[in-house]
Amino acid sequence: MSDTYTITPEIEAFIEECKGKEFSKSYLIAVLHKIQAKYGFLPNNLMEEVAIRMEIPTSKVYGVATFYHMFTLVPEGKHIVNICLGTACYVKGAEQVLNSLKNSLKIDLNQTTEDGLFTLKATRCIGTCGLAPVVMVDEKVYSNVTPDDVPVIIAKYKNK
Ligand code: FES
């Protein structure tokens, strides 16, 4: 499975460019950014390849990849389900909605369903407190969500 992810000629050229210079973390971050932009996450085999090609320890590559929140080491689901846990949503029952999401999707926060369809995330206020509690699926905002609404919302995306 991992060999479906390869260093593209564009990334290879960029690594070559960086290699000529004295190693700095910012070059490594730039390379990892390019890989994540291409695949949506950082595949293990590519982090090892980056280490070899940039002639730096693999541990250094993993260190940077795990330190910065913008990098993810696992592929995200096709749909990102974001629940707002800001104050207004929280007092209007966001925790119960979150529990319903966990039960419906059978995953915890920051996990992806086995079929790769959904990743569950939490966010802070998205600025629509009047509609609390709020759940976002990709770009679509669902307002006044109750725990019972959750299976209905999820079903829409399963059948897409
Ligand atoms: S607290 Fe959830 S939208 Fe503001």
Radius of gyration of the CA atoms of the chain, in A: 19
Specify if 74 maps to a domain. Answer: no
| Contact (Cβ atoms closer than 8 angstroms) between residue 9 and residue 53 | no
Helix and strand numbers, DSSP H then E, in the chain: 7, 4
- pLDDT category of residue 94 using cuts at 50, 70 and 90: very high
- pLDDT category of residue 92 using cuts at 50, 70 and 90: very high
Residues enclosing ligand 1, CB less than 6 A? 84, 86-89, 125-126, 128-129, 132, 134
- For residue 125, how far is its CA from the centre of ligand 1 (angstroms)? 4
Q: Please tell me which residue, 23 or 91, carries the higher pLDDT value.
A: 91
Mark which of 67, 92, 117 sits at the end of a domain: 67
Mark which of 67, 91, 120 sits at the end of a domain: 67
- pLDDT category of residue 131 using cuts at 50, 70 and 90: very high
pLDDT score for 1 = 46
Angle between helix 58-67 and helix 25-39 axes, rounded to 10 deg: 70
Specify if 73 maps to a domain. Answer: no
Same domain, 84 and 153: yes
Task: List the alpha helices (DSSP H) in the chain.
Answer: 9-19, 25-39, 44-54, 58-67, 87-91, 94-105, 149-158
From the CA of 133, give the closest atom in ligand 1: 2
By residue range, what is the domain housing residue 13? 2-67
From the CA of 126, give the closest atom in ligand 1: 3
Same domain, 9 and 49: yes
Same domain, 118 and 96: yes
Cβ atoms within 10 Å of 7's Cβ, excluding its own: 19
Q: Collapse the DSSP code of 111 into the 3-class scheme (helix H, G, I; strand E, B; otherwise coil) and give the result.
A: coil
Same domain, 95 and 59: no
Specify if 26 maps to a domain. Answer: yes
> What is the CATH classification number for the domain harbouring 90?
3.40.30.10
Total domains in the chain come to 2
Binding-site members for [2Fe-2S] cluster are 84, 89, 125, 129
pTM of the entire structure?
Answer: 0.69
Backbone angles phi, psi at 37, to 5 degrees: -65, -35
Range 94-99 average pLDDT? 98
- For residue 115, how far is its CA from the centre of ligand 1 (angstroms)? 29
- pLDDT category of residue 33 using cuts at 50, 70 and 90: very high
Specify if 72 maps to a domain. Answer: no
pLDDT tens sequence across 68-89 = 878 888 888 999 999 999 999 9
Residue 48 has pLDDT above 90, yes or no: yes
- For residue 131, how far is its CA from the centre of ligand 1 (angstroms)? 8
Angle between helix 44-54 and helix 25-39 axes, rounded to 10 deg: 150
